[in-house]
Structure 1
Amino acid sequence: MPLPAIPHYDMPAALAASAVHWSPQRDRAALLVHDMQNYFLRPFEGDRVLGALLANVHALRQACAEHGIPVIYSRQAGSQSAGERGLTAEFWGPGMSDSPADTAIPEAIAPRPGDHEVIKRRYSAFHDSTLRQLLTDLDRDQLIICGVYAHIGIQQTAADAMQHDLPPFVVADAVADFDRDRHETALRYVGDLFGRVLRAHNVITAFSQQRQARSGAAG
């Protein structure tokens, strides 16, 4: 089936409770910007949740640049063969074309020099990709996840991160979904089973406080 038209909704007002109390650490974390390609964002056109999503992903991206935290982009390749799509095609059809109109990431949040990219072909950014090895190479063992869609790739990636013993943090107001119910349900599943749910400002504040504490200790 094609991607659905996404109705207007606001970001969830309340945070989903998390079973764990992990804190993102500047010297351990990497940011994953998950599937923020035009093809997946087009159903949000004109929707206020898209504005909030882009603003919060941008804020996280900026904070990571300021703190020297690696930024990784997952993306799907366009015009995949039937073998590459596999059973995904039974649910979503042939997927995106290889035109930049589909495959590109919006300029405001696009990868910058020094950022990393991984190609994925299934819901999880870990499946049949270089993500796990990249995190090892970067000496990072926490994953902060933002992007789309919360109940599909975001949730599956968080589950895989946990099962790789990589604490995942899903940023509640830097992910979006087909509707608010799916968005909130995905956050509850993550908080109950896979990781910690935070807001963008929680993550950014944690990094700033850690830098201040380190500066104070050094002084």
Structure 2
Amino acid sequence: MAIAKISTYLMPKRESYPNNKTEWQLDPSRAVLLIHDMQRYFLNFYDAESELIKTVVNHLVQLRTWAHQNNVPVVYTAQPYEQPAADRALLNAMWGPGLPASTIDQQKIIDQLSPAEHDIVLTKWRYSAFKRSDLLERMQNWNRDQLIIGGVYAHIGCMVTAIEAFMSDIQPFLVGDAVADFSEEEHRLALKYVSSRCGQVIDTESVVGQVATGITRPWLEQKVQQLIEEDELDPEENLILYGLDSLRIMQFSSELKAQGINISFEELGRTPTLSNWWSLVDARQRIAG
């Protein structure tokens, strides 16, 4: 059956959240922000003027701004408009034709959360954001092992993604006031399950109060991409093949020094790959820390 029109409800307050079983501490240098399925199609089942949706959107905007300011990668999921029956498979039995029965403009992420140029948008095929995507591989390449989750729907995709993150040794943080659901009961079900079985439940204010320190791998990748004007880089490929020259290596060494990381031109030039440069930076930061 298709999703029915969703009645509004009161957003659960932080003081009513269930107790977390773990005591994980969110660290911006380890985290990725996942904005889950905030597409027009899924939001249209709510009253757009409801305080619930206004709150969720406002909090996700705050989280995204915080992520950009603290070098936290931002990843979106979005179901495709075209979903062949073989790809949609059992979802048809559970939810009917879904988004493909709508119009193509409903596939878009809502305007308030339109992805920035450097954000990642993953095609979503199943409840979990990890299923049939390279989210896990990306997080491993970024050396990130914490996933902040917000979006819709809390007890379906958000919760199942948190479960799979946990099973992949990634600490999930479900942002209790940056998700929405079919009802308050199901919203609280997601908070209860995650807090007691696979992760931490946290609120927006607690997330945006965390400030990153040091250099992160996404920062390094962005700086290198700017140096050689390439959008996609193989982390193991020699950067000389992308057009990197000695002048730019010296420039990058100076930028690192400005961040308090002293790595010489000779060290950078010995093995000029993204992976090796990150290893050098990470090692220096660990010694300093």
TM-score tier, shorter chain, comes to over 0.9
Q: Give the letter for the 1:9 counterpart.
A: Y
Q: Secondary structure at the match of 2:45?
A: helix
What is the rounded CA distance, in whole Å, between the counterparts of 1:139 and 1:103 in structure 2?
31
**2:181 alignment partner AA:** D
Structure 2 residue aligned with 1:136:
140
Segments of 4+ in structure 1 off by > 6 A? Answer: none
Q: Does 1:151 align with 2:155?
A: yes
Equivalent runs, 1:50-199 vs 2, <5 Å: 50-97=53-100, 99-199=103-203
Q: Deviation at 1:5?
A: 1.1
Counterpart residue number, 1:40: 42
SS at match of 1:155: helix
Partner of residue 2, structure 1: 2
Distance in 1, matches of 2:213 and 2:46, equals 36
Can you give the 5+ residue segments of structure 1 that lack an aligned partner in the other structure?
A: none
Higher mean displacement: 184-193 or 44-53: 44-53
Give the deviation of 1:104 after TM superposition.
0.5
Q: Could you tell me which runs of 5 or more consecutive residues in structure 2 were left unpaired when the two chains were aligned.
A: 215-258, 260-287
User: C-alpha displacement at 1:114, in angstroms?
Assistant: 0.7
Aligned AA for 1:10?
Answer: L
* Aligned residue type for 1:16: P
Residues 50-83 of structure 1 deviation map (CA, whole Å, 9 limit, x = unaligned): 1000000000000001111100001111130110
Aligned-partner Cα distance in 1 for 2:104–2:35: 18
Distance 1:146 1:67 in 2: 18
**Higher RCO, 1 vs 2 (CA within 8 Å, ≥6 residues apart):** 1
Matched AA of 1:51: K
Q: Could you give the per-residue CA deviations for residues 187-211 of structure 1, whole angstroms, max 9, x where no partner exists?
A: 0000000100000000111x23x54
Q: Secondary structure at the match of 1:126?
A: coil
* Between 86-95 and 98-107, the greater mean CA deviation after superposition: 98-107
Structure 1 residue 136: Cα displacement: 1.4
Cα distance in structure 2, aligned partners of 1:11 and 1:174: 9
Amino acid corresponding to residue 11 of structure 2 in structure 1: M
Alignment-mate amino acid for residue 53 of structure 1:
V
Structure 2 residue matching 1:17: 3-state secondary structure: coil
> What is the root-mean-square deviation of aligned Cα atoms in Å?
1.7
Is contact 1:144-1:170 (8 Å) kept? yes
Which amino acid in 2 is paired with 1:169? F
State the identity as a percent: 36
Q: What SS is found at the alignment partner of 1:32?
A: strand
Residues 83-112 of structure 1: per-residue CA shift (max 9 Å, x gap): 010101101111113744211111111110
Residue 20 of structure 2, aligned match among 18, 21, 31: 18
Aligned residues of 1:143 and 1:166 also touching (Cα < 8 A): yes
SS at match of 1:80: coil
Q: Do 1:7 and 1:47's aligned partners in 2 also have CA atoms closer than 8 Å?
A: no
Q: TM-score, normalised by structure 2?
A: 0.70
